[in-house]
Structure 1
Amino acid sequence: MKKFVLAAAAVLFVMPAVQAADDPVATRKAIMQSVAASAGLSGGMMKGEIAYSPAAGKAAIASLNAAALSFGAFFPAGSEAAPGTTASPKIWEDSAGFAAALAKFSAATGAAAQASGKDGPADVDALKAAVGPILASCKSCHEVYRVQK
């Protein structure tokens, strides 16, 4: 039952992206919401605010990896002027740099997915080792390619 609940939660992280597929700005926002949910779950477990579960760690990492593999496809030319976007114009001005940031995100999530194995990170320290580089990648990308409020 526990695994079913965690699997259902992982699906819920990704569902908004599926629903917004015909709108690239809405899709990338939905993907970022799934990243925020996964980062929140991971961070809560790493801080001891949420009881650690290898399956939950695996679900969070899988969601982050799915986001990393799909996110870059939702920045077509012209979407930088969309209302409500927090994507910086620098994404389109420095497309090679943005592509490198996405590659760093993808590499970090891929390594975490590989390290987490079939059952998820064995303990909180393993989760920290796997997720730490992902969160660092998120932070560095947001510092450059997101409009700061």
Structure 2
Amino acid sequence: MKKLVLAMSTLCISVTAVLAADDPIATRKRIMDSTAAAAGLSAALMKGDIEYNPTIAKAAILTLGASAATFGDYFPEGSGEGQTTASPKIWEDADGFKAALAKFTTDTSAALEASGKDGPADLDAFKAAVGPVMSNCRSCHEAFRVQN
């Protein structure tokens, strides 16, 4: 399982790197798709819809961490036009957006630290580690995403 997760993560990062140079909107969408999948998996683990597994929990946290480390790089000036749900507030309040991204990075780093080598030992540890990350995602979407 660990090898599969690592291989998938490497593939996703490789594809993203190739796409990034040409289309920051498409790249952000792909990163956000990965983030949404990890968040959905995290929520299912937290609610008990999926039986808790520390390896799966660690994979979700690693994906969130990879997103936090790269997502902010794909908002160059002028990339708010086109097929995007990025709010104009991202560029109007660049300092606020950078602060939100910094908090996302801090929260995911703390979750990675708390999760241990093989993932959080139990569901309570996972909830404590990933809860702040999920809260951060929600607040950033409320502030910097166009609501449909």
| TM-superposed deviation, 1:12 | 5.7
From the superposition, tell whether residues 70 and 94 of structure 1 become closer, same or farther in structure 2 (CA, over 3 Å).
same
With the length of structure 1 as denominator, give the TM-score of the two structures: 0.92
* CA displacement 1:61-110 (0-9 Å, x = unmatched): 011011101111100000011x2100000000000000000011000000
- One-letter amino acid matched to 1:147: V
Asked whether the equivalents of residues 20 and 74 of structure 2 are also in contact (C-alpha less than 8 Å), the reply is no
| Unaligned runs of at least 5 residues, structure 1 | none
Instruction: Tell me the CA shift for residue 15 of structure 1.
Output: 5.4
Number of matched residues?
147
Counterpart residue number, 1:7: 6
Question: Within the alignment, does 1:100 sit opposite 2:64 as a pair?
Answer: no
- Equivalent residue of 1:79, what SS? coil
Identical-residue share of aligned pairs (%): 57
Pairwise mapping of residues 129-148 of structure 1 onto structure 2 (< 5 A)? 129-148=128-147
**Match for residue 53 of structure 1?**
53
4+ residue segments displaced more than 6 Å: none
Contact 1:61 1:112 in 2 (8 A): yes
Shift of 1:40: 1.0
1:52 Cα deviation (Å)? Answer: 1.1
**Structure 2: stretches of 5+ with no match in the other structure:** none
Structure 2: distance between partners of 1:15 and 1:49: 31
Q: Distance in 1 between the 2:95 and 2:59 partners? A: 30
Residues 48 and 11 of structure 1: is their aligned pair in 2 closer, same or farther, counting only changes over 3 Å?
Answer: farther
Superposed CA deviations along residues 19-54 of structure 1, whole A, max 9, x for unmatched, are: 422211111111100100101111111111112111
Give the aligned CA root-mean-square deviation in angstroms. Answer: 1.5
Q: Is contact 1:14-1:63 (8 Å) kept?
A: no
Does 2:70 align with 1:70?
yes
